[in-house]
Amino acid sequence: MNVDSSSEYLLEARNIVKVFGELRANDDVTLSLKPGEIHALLGENGAGKSTLVKIIYGSLQATSGQLFWKGQPVTVANPAAARELGIGMVFQHFSLFDALTVTENIALALPADVDIGALAGRIEKVSNDYGLPLRPDALVADLSVGERQRIEIVRCLLQEPRLLIMDEPTAVLTPQEADQLFVTLERLASEGCGVLYISHRLEEVKRICHDATILRHGKLVARVDPQQETAASLANLMVGAEVAAVKADRGGVPGSPLLELVDLSLPTNDPFGVALKNINLTIRAGEIVAVAGVAGNGQSEFFDAVSGEQPSANNETVKMSGEACGRENITRRRRRHAAFVPEERIGHGAVPDFPLSENVVLTHHAVGEGVVRKGLINRAAARDVNSAVTELFDVRKGTPDPEARSLSGGNLQKFVVGREMTREPKILVVNQPTWGVDAGAAALIRQALIDLARSGSAVLVISQDLDEIFEISDRIAVISRGEMSEAYPAEELSLEQIGLLMAGAHEKAPEKAAAS
């Protein structure tokens, strides 16, 4: 697909440099993309991918270099200017207002005189046509992460872009949703729309992308045809070394129950929420139990109930190390040597405007590591925890203690997970542990979860990534419409059987589910 005439390119970014203080986030990067091409932009977390696409979209201005649109030099002063050119972007972190409806959020990106009623009809039609159904009148605060991602995608599609930039679009989609998205992207490409596609899921890059530009530490290191590469070779180009394989080390005998859920129910007054219904689950010392499910089936409510963010009316519904604690809040449960990692790292897992050391205090303040003494913050101890997390989990940052918002998504995820794991908790509950992280970081986090379990802790993982679930878990349960299936040994389940359980076949054993 190489041609000599630059005018045949939809977009060119030539010799882009972006400097933040002493950090060269982009260092002489060149990228070109044709109409109808799905082009992957690959690299580790912090490699400069998000910086480059923000420059293309007008959210940032390059220190030097030039953008060309359809062969002509352009200055993209802001996102509105990008949209005028025909560039749309789906960000990794959502730019949505929780208090507004789906329609109102989408209207913010459209001309001020848009007809809200007509827009709601368009949203419903486009979202259904593309297999990403949305209720136009739903409040964003009531939606799952997967449903919020749909808003971002549909908002771009409504603008009929000529170039669509997608930053980790499948990170919170189920395999079925991802498959539908791929159909949509292939259709857009067939109509002449270019797609610039950032993803850490290399098998999907191989499946749908025609070309790939690979960055490492801000520099361009390769441009390849991903369909002629293996996932391993792409990962090696991204990292600059071979990515270590995750070793599950299964076969040990689990110890005593550390986390028990007994007929756990949680009603909801939210018309868009999901009530939990009689959930029973036991996790023993030394094992990882994973909970799979389609987004919006009660995962958030389940995490809130287990963590104590939403205590139960019945104290006996949650037991930690044999002691009932269903009515206890999250701080009291942390004092029982439990740790919790929510799915939304910005806003829930970390305060974006706080430095990392202060984000340490948010979860370590009541668990006896010396971060708080006699009601006062021990900032030196908090900085020590930050340094330990940085070293153990390879958190890459420009300064020793930056604000959380300054980290790339994957590096912030490593920090949030590492912050809890450095406590060496007896119980760890983690929701979407590797959402939006690269292959190397995902392997690091998954191995850390396995190692924690093998050291004698109980680990509960809530994940939509079925590859991840099969890679790390000892047993797998499925949540559907607020109900939990039995937890089956991972080796006894297939993707098809999990799909049936996602559809609500909770009462069936795996063999019967497969037969049906």
For residues 428 and 452, is the Cβ–Cβ distance under 8 A?
yes
Average pLDDT for residues 395-423, to the nearest whole number?
Answer: 92
Tell me the pLDDT tens digit for each residue of 198-219. Answer: 988 888 999 999 999 999 999 9
| pLDDT of 314 | 97
| pLDDT of 100 | 93
How sure is the predictor about 417, in pLDDT bands with cuts at 50, 70 and 90?
Answer: very high
Average pLDDT for residues 170-179, to the nearest whole number?
Answer: 70
| pLDDT of 427 | 98
Quote the percentage of the chain above a pLDDT of 90. Answer: 63
Average pLDDT for residues 182-194, to the nearest whole number?
Answer: 91
Q: Which residue has the higher pLDDT, 132 or 57?
A: 57
Closest-CA residue to 40 (of 145, 192, 166, 151): 166
Please say if the pLDDT value at position 2 is more than 60.
no
DSSP assignments along 179-224, one per residue: HHHHHHHHHHHHTT-EEEEE-S-HHHHHHH-SEEEEEETTEEEEEE
User: Residue 77: is it exposed, middle or buried by C-beta count within 10 angstroms (0-12/13-18/19+)?
Assistant: exposed
| pLDDT of 168 | 81
3 state SS for 33-48:
ECCCCEEEEECCCCCC
| pLDDT of 3 | 34
Those residues whose C-beta lies under 8 Å from the C-beta of residue 155, and which sit 6 or more positions away, are: 105, 106, 109
DSSP 15: E
How sure is the predictor about 34, in pLDDT bands with cuts at 50, 70 and 90?
Answer: very high
For residues 131 and 183, is the Cβ–Cβ distance under 8 A?
yes
Taking the CA atoms of residue 179, residue 185, residue 190 and residue 196 in that order, the dihedral angle to the nearest 10 degrees is -140
Q: Between helices 145-158 and 175-190, what is the axis angle to 10°? A: 10
| pLDDT of 326 | 98
For residues 132 and 84, is the Cβ–Cβ distance under 8 A?
no
| pLDDT of 501 | 84
3-state DSSP call for residue 130? coil
Give the CA count within 13 Å in the CB-facing half-sphere of 64.
Answer: 5
Taking the CA atoms of residue 131, residue 133, residue 136 and residue 138 in that order, the dihedral angle to the nearest 10 degrees is -150
Tell me the pLDDT tens digit for each residue of 471-480. Answer: 999 999 999 8
Tell me the pLDDT tens digit for each residue of 355-405. Answer: 999 999 999 998 866 898 888 899 999 999 999 999 999 998 889 999 999
| pLDDT of 235 | 87
| pLDDT, the chain, mean | 89
| pLDDT of 7 | 57
How sure is the predictor about 5, in pLDDT bands with cuts at 50, 70 and 90?
Answer: very low
| pLDDT of 513 | 43
Tell me the pLDDT tens digit for each residue of 503-516. Answer: 776 544 444 444 44
Tell me the pLDDT tens digit for each residue of 316-335. Answer: 999 999 999 999 999 999 99
Tell me the pLDDT tens digit for each residue of 433-463. Answer: 988 677 788 889 999 999 999 999 999 999 9
Backbone angles phi, psi at 18, to 5 degrees: -135, 125
| pLDDT of 290 | 97
Backbone angles phi, psi at 160, to 5 degrees: 50, 60
Give the CA count within 13 Å in the CB-facing half-sphere of 337.
Answer: 15
Q: Which residue has the higher pLDDT, 95 or 324?
A: 324
Please say if the pLDDT value at position 340 is more than 90.
yes
Q: Mind listing the domains of the chain with CATH numbers?
A: 6-239 (3.40.50.300), 257-337+425-515 (3.40.50.300)
Q: Which CA distances in Å does 453 have to 278, 288, 426?
A: 26, 6, 9
Tell me the pLDDT tens digit for each residue of 269-320. Answer: 776 678 999 999 999 999 999 999 877 789 999 999 999 999 999 999 999 9
Those residues whose C-beta lies under 8 Å from the C-beta of residue 501, and which sit 6 or more positions away, are: 292, 478, 480, 485, 513
| pLDDT of 440 | 81
Give the pairing type, strands 376-377 and 372-373. antiparallel
